[in-house]
Structure 1
C-alpha cells in the first residue's frame, strides 16, 4: 500500500464516530499517518513525508502524548530539511521538550536549527539559534557542548561585524578552558581569534591592552606563534605598513595554515589600514 492510501485511511479514521472511538481513532490515525510517512520517505517524497509526520504529531497531541508528538515533529523537520529550510516543526518539538524539562535534548535539536540556518546562509537566525542552544546546555551544566555552541555564535557574529559580542565569547570560553586538561590547549586559538576581532575594530589602544591581558591569562601564550604573529600585525597596523602586514601573514600561513574565517578577518584588518591612513591624510 502506498503513502496516499495510508493517508486516506487515516483521514477516514479521524472522521469516524462512535461511543468507543474516542482516543482509539487518534491512536489508529497516528499509526496510519506514520506508515504513510515511511512510504513517502522510501520514495524520497520528502514534503509529503513531512506532512504525514505532522498529521501524526497532531493526533498524538490530541492524546496528550508529548514525547510522541515531539518525536513526530523532529521526523517531520528532518524530512523538510531535505528540500528547504523549515524549522517550524523542530521548533515545536524543542518547546515540547522544554515544557517537559528535558533541556539536554531540547538543546540538541535547537543546535540542529542553528546548523540548518547556517547551511542556508541565514547567519543572523543561526546566531540566535546557537545562542539559545548554548543557554539550554549551560542550564544543564553541559559546559563543553555549551562552549561549542557559543564558539559558533562568536564565529558568525564576527562575520556580521558584531565584534564586541565575538570578543566577549572568545575571552569567556578561553578563561573557562584554562583549568581543563582537555581544553586548555585550545585557549591560545580562542585568544588569537578574539584579538583578530579586536583589530577589526581598529581600536589600537584596546588591542594593545588586550594582548597584555592575554599574556597574563595564559602563561603559554607569550611564547606562542600566535602571540608573536599578533604583535607583528599590530605593529604593522600601527605603522600603516601594509607590506609588513602581508609578509607577516604569508610567513605565518606557510607554517600554520589559516582557515577561511581567519583569512577573512585578516583581510578586513588589512583594509582597515588603508582606511585609517586615508583618514590621517584627510
Structure 2
C-alpha cells in the first residue's frame, strides 16, 4: 500500500534519526524537573541568607536592598514548589512553600503568608500530616491576628479532619479543634457553620461515654432546628440522637426526655425514630431476654437502616442487657 507524502517524510525522519526532539521516558522527565527545582531552591536559599545579612541599620538607612532579595527568593521558592508539586515530590514542595511563607512574614505580608502556609500544609498532608497541622497552626495565628475568625474556624476544621484521618487518627485532638472552631464561628454569629462542628463534638463525646456533654449539644441543636421553620425537619434527627444518649444513661431518663422533646417539637412524635425509642423502652422494661429489643430494631431496619453511629450506640445498650447481637 502506497503511503502519502507526509507519511514518507515521517518514515524517513525515523530512519535517519533526524527527529528534532528525542523522546524521554516519564521517569527521566520527572528527575529533570526535580533537578531544576532543586537549583531554584538552592538559589532562593542563597538570596534569603544574603537578605538576612543585609537586614538592619544599613538597609534601613540606604534603602531596601534586602527587600528586593526577599522578593526574589519568594518568587524562586514558589516556582520550585510548583515544579516539585508537578513531580509529586510533596515534601520538597511543602518545604519551599513553607520557606516562602516565612519570608512573607518578614516583610509583613500576612495574606500571602497565610496562603503559603496553606499551600505547604496541602503538600505535607500527602505524607507528613503532623507537619501539615503545624503549618495550619501558623495560618490560624495569622487569621486571628487579623480578626478573621470565620476563616480561622474553617482552617481549624481542616486541622480536625487531618487528625480524624489515618495515619494520625487522633480523635481527642480533633475534638479540640472542632470545639475551637465552634467558639470562633459562634463569636461571629455564624451559627449554621458552627453546627457541624458542634455535632462532631457531640458524636465523639457519646462514643467516649461522655453522655451529658453529648446530650446537651444534641438538644441545643435540635431546639434550634425546631424553632426555625427552614430547619424544622432536621430536629427529629438530633432529638433521636439525644434520646439514644439518654437511653445509654438510664431508660427512665430517656422516657422523660422523650416527653420533653415532643413538647418542644410535636412532629417528632410521628417519626419512625420516636416510635423506635418507645418500642425499645418497652422492651427494656419487660423483656429480659432482649427478643422484643431485637424485633423493634428489625422492624425499623425493614423500612430503612439507621446510620452506623446510632447502631453503635444501641449495640452498647444491647451489651448491657447481656446480649451481643450485631446491630450494625
For this structure pair, what is the TM-score category when the shorter chain's length is used for normalisation?
over 0.9
1:148-193 alpha-carbon deviations (Å, 9 max, x no partner): 1111111122222222111111000011111223311010010001
* Alignment of 1:79 onto 2:127: no
Which residue, 146, 154, 157 being the options, matches 1:108? 154
Residue in 1 aligned with 2:318?
Answer: 270
Structure 1 moving runs of 4+ over 3 Å: 17-20
* Alignment of 1:154 onto 2:198: no
Alignment of 1:1-282 (within 5 A): 2-16=36-50, 20-86=64-130, 87-120=133-166, 121-201=169-249, 203-239=250-286, 240-274=288-322
Larger radius of gyration: 2
Give the length in aligned residue pairs: 274
**Runs of 5+ consecutive residues of structure 2 not aligned to the other structure:** 1-32, 324-328
Deviation at 1:241, TM superposition (A): 4.2
Q: TM-score under structure 2 normalisation? A: 0.80
Aligned-residue CA RMSD in angstroms? 1.5
1:198-240 alpha-carbon deviations (Å, 9 max, x no partner): 1122x22321211111110101011211111001111222333
**Runs of 5+ consecutive residues of structure 1 not aligned to the other structure:** 276-282
Q: Distance in 1 between matches of 2:316 and 2:49?
A: 62
Report 1 or 2 for greater relative contact order, CA contacts < 8 Å, sequence distance ≥ 6: 1
Which is worse superposed, 157-166 or 256-265?
A: 157-166
Q: TM-score under structure 1 normalisation? A: 0.93
1:101-127 alpha-carbon deviations (Å, 9 max, x no partner): 011111111111111111232211111
1:6-30 alpha-carbon deviations (Å, 9 max, x no partner): 1101011123266542222212111
